[in-house]
Amino acid sequence: MVAYSPYIILSMTFFFYAMKGKDYGIKGFLYHQFVEYLEFFGITLAFLAWVLRRKVPFKVTPKRKGRVSLRVIMPHLSILILLIISIVKGTLELSTTSDMLLVYSIYVNLFWAFYQSFFLSGSILFAVKMGGEEEANLVKEKT
């Protein structure tokens, strides 16, 4: 974690500096991260379709509040379950190993598993909460 902390702190500092003058805040930051996690599979599949030169039909979604399709969040749920299993397994491994290099490696992996789990959980909750509802612009200029 010592190796990644400067990167995370520096990244967040630059990000918040870039957002200075905008009414963004922690709520806007979290919404942004949750939406990015939700978009990941769709964007990746679109990229693969482009690389393979395949046409993918574009569906227009209704703009009213509706139920969330399990198909949309199933990849996220699958990865979240795998992350939770890896957190449990990593925690159990910590109690059985005495190799310091392995302990350090497990701590780094646990850190990233918790980090990803937080944002995946948030994106799933965000998708369920928002449904088909459109949110107003979350980044506003300060007046």
Three-state secondary-structure class, residue 36: helix
Q: What is the pLDDT of residue 135?
A: 46
pLDDT tens-digit readout, 31-87: 888 888 888 888 888 889 999 999 877 776 666 555 666 777 888 899 999 999 999
Rounded Cα–Cα distance for residues 101 and 79 (Å): 27
Rounded Cα–Cα distance for residues 122 and 30 (Å): 8
User: In the predicted model, is pLDDT for residue 138 greater than 80?
Assistant: no
- Residue 68 in tokens: 């969330």
Give the DSSP per-residue string, 80-134: HHHHHHHHHHHHHHHHH---HHHHHHHHHHHHHHHHHHHHHHHHHHHHHHHTTPP
Q: What is the pLDDT of residue 131?
A: 66
Q: What is the pLDDT of residue 67?
A: 65
- Looking at per-residue confidence, does 68 or 138 come out higher? 68
Task: Return mean pLDDT, the chain.
Answer: 82
Burial class for 35, CB neighbours closer than 10 Å (0-12, 13-18, 19+): middle
- Residue 100 in tokens: 């310091």
Cβ proximity of 73 and 128 under 8 Å: yes
Q: What is the pLDDT of residue 13?
A: 86
